[in-house]
Structure formats: C-alpha cells, structure tokens
Amino acid sequence: MTAVEPGVPFSPLRALNELQPFHWSAGLVARGMAELRIADQLGAGPRTTAEIAAAIEAHEPSLERFLRVCELHRLIAPAEEPPAGGRRWELTSAGQLLRSDIPSLRGFSIAVNAPGMTRPWELVADVVRTGRPATRTVWGVDHWEYYAAHPDEARSYAETCASLSVEAAEALVASCPVAGEREIVDVGGSPGTVLARLLEAAPEARGVLLDLPWATGFAEETLRERGLAGRVDLVAGDFRHEVPAGGSLYLLKNVLCDLDDDAAGQLLANCAKAAPAGARLLLLDWEYTEHSSHVHANDVEFMVLTGGRARTEEEYRALLTAAGFTAARRLPLVGHERAPIALIESVRA
C-alpha cells in the first residue's frame, strides 16, 4: 500500500516512511563520524560508547545518541554485550570506508557533505529555474575561490581527488601507453596522484602540473612522497587563461565536467595553442549516457556548484574538433570498460 491511494485516508506517518524527506542527513552523519574518527577507534574491534568517548574526547551522552543514528544508517552495529554489560559497537562494511588508517572514502565523505558543497544545494530549485550555479549566490565567490578561503575543506577535497584518482591512474597506464613521452602536462592535476603514476610509467619524461595556487601545495606533498618532486614543475595559475606550452602529452582528467561549454571550449583552445603539432591530448571524464547512473547525480552537482556538466562522447568530440584537435578516438578504459567514463585520445593538428 502506498501513502496516497484513492479512497484511503492520507496517513502522514506512512507517507514519511515512504518519502523519507529526512534522508538528507545521512551524508552529514557520515561526515560527522569521519571528522570524529569514530571508525578509527573501532578499527581494531568493538568498543563501548564510554571507551570511544574517552578516546575522542567527546561528551558521552551526546556520543551515545549520535552512535544510534550511525547505526540507523548502517555505519556501525551493536556487538555482543560484554559480561559486565554496556553496549559495544563494531564497524559495518560501510563504516570501514570512513577509516583514516586504510584506503577509504573518509576525505570524500567529509568534502561532499561540508558547507562548500551542501549549502549551494539549498538553492537547487533556483538553479533549475535560472540555469546558473548557486555557489556565488550563497558564498559571494565561485566554487574554487571558496576552497582558497577554506583550507580545511580544501584538504578534504584534495583527499577526495586522491582517493578517486588512484584507480583512475592505474587504468590510464593500462589503457594508454606513455613510456615514450617527453613531457606530460597535467592540467588541473592536483593533488598529483595521476601525474605521479604516469611519470612512473614513463621514466624518461618530465612532468608539469598546472593548478590554482591553493591546490599546488597538495600536489607538492604527493610528488615528494612518491620521490618525484625533482621531475615535476608545479605551475600555479588558471587554465582558463593559459596552459604551459611545449608538452608532448596533455592530460585533462575530470576537468571539463566542472566547466560550461564556453569555458570548456576556451580551455581546449588554450591547450591547442600551447601544444606543438603532433602532441597528444588525453581526456578522461564522466560520460552522460541514456542509462541511469551516479553520473546523473554528479551532473546536477556540477550544475549547482560550478555550472559544469557531464557530456556524451559526441559532445566531447565536438569540443575537441572545434579547438583544433584531430584523430579523436575512444580508448577502452581497462578494467572499467562498461563504466560511464569516456577516455578519448586526440592529436594537435
């Protein structure tokens, strides 16, 4: 039985259970659990509320109430009661993804549920009406200027990019040979995870990473940890105005999705101006398809935050051609052939 049926009295309680308008809080609960590092405390096994509270220096009664909603969202579960009594908690498989001491989605859960991303969503109806992103309306600056002014959120965003880029970097190396490259230019490439992997696969190449001033520090950390700092030039700048010249390979990973068509066309024109004839450009980005997927949610997020959009393969090809790149061909992304991700190689005419 649905909440609304002809001849059946409307039941708000049943309707709430069906619509679940309070489900928006699930992401904020995950963010709170990640920021408090509760998952880290449970990584070695079950612990009581009192033990967790002491470890994270939290107010025990408030923590107990918060843990119950973490349980509701299946991030933790009650463990067997110890002989002396007192509830113990253990991580679920979803809760494991919020740990900081193993590969996880902790940074992602914080970043996508932090104010910089959530507050503009409050104006989603206005975005649909006007076609204009909401970030500047809410904060008075664009999405990237917001991160420049909020370094803690910027770091969580960088962690998000790093965690998502590890798998993408391996797939890129497996899908597109780079061993013979001379200079790889990663446009908007912070925190440097992908460029680092490409340079490991191309030991004779040098790298150039271009990103906004607030973002290059995260790339510097990554490259130093990987022992590659001496092979990379970090360029703090805005790719909407200029791209470093002279590369043999240009990489745009999940960059165009944050740009509207005019800005995307300008960026590709900047790449064409900077690239010598015969240089390659690799484009790796979300693909908008007829089949429903998380990309459709991402697409609305781009619309709300930056004014960008996910595109079809044909739309990516059209942008590349208009900018002066030829011989565009889609490459299979090894290990992710059926994913809604487009990997397109083209050549500077």
Cα angle 196, 200, 203 (rounded to 5 degrees) comes to 125
H or E segment at 167? helix 151-175
DSSP output for 276-290 = PTT-EEEEEEEB--S
pLDDT (0 to 100) of residue 19? 77
pLDDT of residue 3: 59
Tens-digit pLDDT profile for the chain (349 aa)? Answer: 565 677 788 878 777 777 777 788 999 999 999 999 999 999 999 999 999 999 999 999 999 999 999 999 999 999 976 656 678 999 999 999 999 999 899 999 999 999 999 999 999 999 999 999 999 999 999 999 999 999 999 999 998 898 889 999 999 999 999 999 999 999 999 999 999 999 999 999 999 999 999 999 999 999 999 999 999 999 999 999 999 999 999 999 999 999 999 999 999 999 999 999 999 999 999 999 999 999 999 999 999 999 999 999 999 999 999 999 999 999 999 999 999 999 999 999 9
Q: Does residue 168 contact residue 220 with C-beta atoms inside 8 Å?
A: no
CB 238 within 8 A of CB 267: no
> Could you tell me if 24 and 30 are in contact, meaning their C-beta atoms sit under 8 angstroms apart?
no
CB 321 within 8 A of CB 253: no
The confidence score (pLDDT) of residue 11 equals 79
Cis peptide before 332 (omega within 30 of 0): no
In one letter, which amino acid is 116?
Answer: G
Residue pointed to by tokens 């370094």: 151
User: Rounded to whole angstroms, how far apart are CA atoms 85 and 232?
Assistant: 57
Q: What is the pLDDT of residue 85?
A: 60
| Beta-strand pair 88-91/76-78 | antiparallel
Q: What integer pLDDT is reported at residue 87 of this predicted model?
A: 83
Please give the Cα distance from 224 to 206 (Å, whole number): 15
* Per-residue tokens: 56: 């994270």
Question: Distance (Å, rounded) from C-alpha 167 to C-alpha 157?
Answer: 17
**DSSP states along 255-270:** -GGGS-HHHHHHHHHH
Over residues 290-318, the pLDDT tens digits come to: 999 999 999 999 999 999 999 999 999 99
Residue 193 amino acid letter = T
Up-side HSE of residue 248: CA atoms within 13 Å toward CB? 13
Q: What's the rounded Cα separation, in Å, for the pair 121 and 103?
A: 28
Is there a contact between 34 and 98 (Cβ–Cβ < 8 Å)? yes
Q: Considering the entire predicted model, what is its pTM? A: 0.90
Q: CA-CA-CA-CA torsion for 107, 108, 110, 113, nearest 10 degrees?
A: 170
DSSP 13-33: HHHHHHH-GGGGHHHHHHHHH
Q: What separation in angstroms does the CA of 28 have from each of 111, 244, 299? A: 10, 39, 21
Residues 269 and 239: beta-carbon distance below 8 Å: no
